[in-house]
Amino acid sequence: MARRGLPLLRHVLRHSAAASSSLPPLKTLAFAETRRSVTYMPRPGDGAPRAVTLIPGDGIGPLVTGAVRQVMEAMHAPVYFETYEVHGDMAAVPPEVIESIRKNKVCLKGGLTTPLGGGVSSLNVQLRKELDLYASLVNCFNLAGLPTRHQNVDIVVIRENTEGEYSGLEHEVVPGVVESLKVITKFCSERIAKYAFEYAYLNNRKKVTAVHKANIMKLADGLFLESCREVATKYPGIKYNEIIVDNCCMQLVSKPEQFDVMVTPNLYGNLVANTAAGIAGGTGVMPGGNVGQDHAIFEQGASAGNVGNQKIVEQKKANPVALLLSSAMMLRHLQFPSFADRLETAVKRVIAEGKYRTKDLGGHSTTQEVVDAVIAALD
């Protein structure tokens, strides 16, 4: 449970000249409850407030982003939000939003509905392609105090976010016959494999599993596997194995403890991430985000239910935990580790106590009640 990432801190520790003998075990640094014996030394000016683009989105989006805003204010976190209205039925993401994300480099976003049936292409996919956010990350783990059918789950699903089955290249050959192209390139497969192994290395993860269907799609998934294998040779300390996607789903529901980091192409990643999130407590609590070379967008980890339905919106009972934990990831990404730790500890405390839980976790609280509980639990 203690393998939570504090990448900057670990980076600082690994390069600290002295003190290799008096280095505390890295585990204790994960919880801000125990006093940290090594401090994060900022550069002068690191505490200046950072601008973050905020996209409330559709459905429960405004509710949960409002929750994050409240908690950030209560913590006096050095972030301020530039809000932009984007809705799923717009034809394209407005250019000023893209400009703002390019300027701020970081964005926090609620869910955007994608209308079925054609016409508009998904805005989520548009954003990812436009900003080249090629890695999507979901951290699925058991939260203390939340009963689930599966224990010992701590899986990170890293999913290629730009190509694969989501290329959007479809056409009708003749009436009644439609073709869709799945494109796999060596370039994208290599960079997602590199990201996955680098993530595993920086977060002290032991194993990377590649998920594929190369027995049927020999060339496409074969190319993906080849790239993963090449990158694996450069990280001899990290174990690497491969699993076929249908077997993977079966293993996830029976023995999820065998998985650590999983790297997948686009479509399988969607399914595996949602399955892993489901077994560990639901998509309402799993944090995640999309990251590229220059930008990062944080949102609810797995995509199912990120817009919610009409009933939840009316009753204001959306679960803000996923977005709160994602904003903690965002704070770390922005190099504010102590704020991130405080937020995470408070959220975990509220979940462990069990008094304030929304409907998807088996409780009856509203979003506001959970937010108030988190603010009260902040130290």
Among 142, 209, 303, 365, binds another protein (CB under 8 A): 303
Residues contacting residue 111 through CB under 8 Å, at least 6 positions apart? 57, 58, 59, 60, 61, 299, 300, 303, 306, 307, 308
Rounded to the nearest 10 degrees, the angle between the axes of helix 61-75 and helix 337-353 is 120
> Is 258 a residue that touches another protein (CB under 8 A)?
no
Q: Which is nearer to another protein, 83 or 185 (CB)?
A: 185
Q: Which is nearer to another protein, 281 or 320 (CB)?
A: 281
Q: Which is nearer to another protein, 139 or 270 (CB)?
A: 270
CA gap 334, 108 in Å, rounded: 12
> Is 17 a residue that touches another protein (CB under 8 A)?
no
Enter the tokens of residue 378: 């902040």
Q: What are phi and psi of 82, to 5 degrees?
A: -105, 105
> Is 304 a residue that touches another protein (CB under 8 A)?
yes
Q: List Cα–Cα distances, 374 to 22, 160, 178, 251, 377, in angstroms.
A: 35, 33, 50, 35, 5
> Is 150 a residue that touches another protein (CB under 8 A)?
yes
Among 44, 45, 95, 117, binds another protein (CB under 8 A): 117
Specify whether the CB–CB gap between 194 and 231 falls below 8 A.
yes
Cβ 170 to another protein, closest distance in Å?
A: 4
Angle 205-245-129 from CA coordinates, rounded to 5°: 75
CA gap 328, 344 in Å, rounded: 6
> Is 274 a residue that touches another protein (CB under 8 A)?
yes
CA gap 80, 54 in Å, rounded: 9
CA gap 237, 7 in Å, rounded: 18
Angle 90-96-97 from CA coordinates, rounded to 5°: 65
> Is 271 a residue that touches another protein (CB under 8 A)?
yes
Q: Coil, strand, or helix at residue 247?
A: helix
> Is 143 a residue that touches another protein (CB under 8 A)?
no
Q: Which is nearer to another protein, 224 or 298 (CB)?
A: 224
Q: List Cα–Cα distances, 56 to 40, 84, 159, in angstroms.
A: 32, 7, 24
- DSSP assignment of 113-125 equals ---TTSSSPPHHH
Q: Which is nearer to another protein, 15 or 171 (CB)?
A: 171
Cβ 126 to another protein, closest distance in Å?
A: 11
Q: Near another protein by CB under 8 A, which window of 128-136, 197-205, 297-305, 318-326? A: 297-305
Among 70, 104, 185, 368, binds another protein (CB under 8 A): 185
> Partners of 239 in the beta sheet?
207
> Is 313 a residue that touches another protein (CB under 8 A)?
no
Q: Which is nearer to another protein, 100 or 124 (CB)?
A: 124
Q: Which is nearer to another protein, 51 or 125 (CB)?
A: 125
Specify whether the CB–CB gap between 108 and 52 falls below 8 A.
yes
Enter the tokens of residue 227: 């790239």
Q: What are phi and psi of 161, to 5 degrees?
A: -110, -5
> Partners of 211 in the beta sheet?
243
> Is 45 a residue that touches another protein (CB under 8 A)?
no
Q: Near another protein by CB under 8 A, which window of 8-16, 24-32, 61-69, 276-284? A: 276-284
Cβ 48 to another protein, closest distance in Å?
A: 39
Q: Which is nearer to another protein, 137 or 273 (CB)?
A: 273
Q: Near another protein by CB under 8 A, which window of 22-30, 53-61, 129-137, 184-192? A: 184-192
> Is 141 a residue that touches another protein (CB under 8 A)?
no
Per-residue interface string for the shown chain with another protein, residues 234-253, x marking contact by CB under 8 A: -----------xxx-xxxxx
| Chain positions contacting another protein, by CB under 8 A | 114-118, 121-122, 125, 149-150, 165-166, 168, 170-172, 175-187, 213, 216-220, 223, 245-247, 249-254, 267-268, 270-271, 273-275, 277-279, 282-283, 302-305
